[in-house]
Amino acid sequence: MHIKTLTISVAIAKFIAFASADVNISTYYQSLESKIDPKNATVPSIEQTTSLDPSVECKDYTPDSSLIAINRSEFPESWSIATSNGRADSAEFTSLYNSIDWTKAPNISVRTIKSNGDLNDSGYDYDTDPDCWWSATTCTVPKLADVNPDIYKCDEPETWGLTYDDGPNCSHNAFYDYLQQNNLKASMFYIGSNVLDLPYGALRGIADGHHIASHTWSHPYMTTLTNKEVLAELYYTQKAIKLATGITPRYWRPPYGDVDDRVRWVATQLGMTAIIWNYDTDDWAADDGSTPAAVEKTYEQFIEMGSNGTFADSGNIVLTHEIDNITMSLALEFLPKIKASYKNVLDVATCANITRPYFEDFEWTSVINGTGASNTASVANATSTVVVAATSSVADTSSTAEATSTTTTGDASSTGLVAAAQVQQVANNAHLNTPSLALAAGFIVSLIF
C-alpha cells in the first residue's frame, strides 16, 4: 500500500511538472504549418524521386504547391546563418524570442573561431569544464539544472545506433531504397537549408518511417553563435521540416558536436534535446583529405566490436553521413556486416525508447517510426521495430524497468507498478524535461488499482 501511494504521488508530481512545461512549449509549435499527414505520407512520383541516376535525381524541381507550398521570403537564405534575410526581425521570430525569459540564460561567452577554422579553446578550463563544452571534453551531462542532457549512446546491449547527418541529399534514392528493403530505420538529422531545397527528399524520410531530427539551418559551430542566432538556427529548421514532413522534431544534433550549456539551454526552451554519438566513422573525410580505405578500416573496427563483447552491456550511437555518394556508398557496403555483427540496428528513437520523438505525436505513442507509405512499391509492406519498456520483475519492488519486447503482468496492484515503472523508464531513457502520455497512463492505472 505504501508503495502504491508513493508511486501515485511521484506520478502526480511528474505529470503536473512535465505537462505544464510541455504545454507552454508545444503551444508555439502548433503555429507551424504543413499540408502533410506524416502518418499517411506519399512521395510524388517524379523523375527526381524515382531515378537512380544522380544526374537526374539532382535536377532542380518545384514541389507541388498543394502539397508543400514554400514561400522563400519566410525563411533565411540557404546556408547562411538563420538570422539572414531579415528573419531575426520577423513577427513570428520576434514573438518566439520575446516569449523566452532570457534573464535566466547561462552567462557563458560566445566562442570564437581561429584563423585556421578551428574552435578557439584558449583559456578554457578543461579540468573543471564549467560549461560542459562537448568540443572540449565530450561532456554530455549539463552542469546546469533544467537543461536537457545529451543522448550519446543506446542503452540496449549489442545495439548499433544508426544515424545519418546532413540530409536530405538529392542523390539518396538508392540508399533509402536499400534501407527500406532491409527494414532499417535510421535517425536522419536534416539540415534546414537542404530540406527547403529538397523537400521531397525530407518527405521520403518520414514516408519511409525514419526518425527525423534537426541538424540546424546552416551547419555552424553553435557555440560561436549568439543566443538569438542559436534560436534562429533551431527554429527555422523546425519550420522547414514541419512544412516538408508534417512533424516537428524534439531532437537535434549540433554540427561537429559543438554544444555547451548555453546552447543546450536555448534548445531546451524549444523543448529540444541533443543527440550526440560515442563512435565516429569520419566517413565525411573519405572525400576530404582522407581515403575510403581509412574510413573502411574504421568501419571494420566498429563492426568487430559488435561481436567481441565490447557492447555486451550497452550499445553505441555511430556518426555517419548522407552528405554525398561516397558516404552513402560506404554505408551500403558495410550495413550487411553491421547487421550480421550486432543484435540490433536501430534508430535512436527506438533504441532510447523514446515514444514521442515529435511534438505532434501526443496521440501517436504506439508508433515510434511512422506509418507512412513509400512510393517504392517493392518495399511498401516493410514493418518497423519498436522496443517497449517493461519491468523485469513486479514481485521485486526495488527492481528497475529494462528495455524488453514483452511486459510482465500480475495482479491489479502489480499492473499499477508495471505502468509506473514503464513511465519512469521512458522518462529516464528519453532524457527529457517534457512529458510522455505514458505518464498519465501509469498514474491512472496506479490510481484505479
**Residues classed as catalytic:** 165, 321
The 3-class SS string of 83-118 reads CCCCHHHCHHHHHHHHCCCHHHCCCCCCCCECCCCC
**Rounded CA separation 343/31 (Å):** 41
Helix runs in 282-394, H state only: 292-305, 325-341, 348-351
Residue entry with cell 532491409:
182
Q: Grid coordinates standing for 254? A: 549540433
Angle at 302 between CA 300 and CA 303, to 5 degrees: 60
Closest CA to 242 of 276, 192, 204: 192
CA 324 from chain centre, in angstroms, equals 21
**Rounded CA separation 238/170 (Å):** 20
Q: Are the beta carbons of 171 and 58 closer than 8 angstroms? A: yes
Closest CA to 213 of 277, 306, 159: 277
Q: Are the beta carbons of 38 and 247 closer than 8 angstroms? A: yes
Other residues' Cβ atoms within 10 Å of the Cβ of residue 297 = 11
Closest CA to 423 of 411, 98, 447, 410: 447
CA 364 from chain centre, in angstroms, equals 17
171: amino acid identity, one letter:
S
**Rounded CA separation 371/392 (Å):** 29
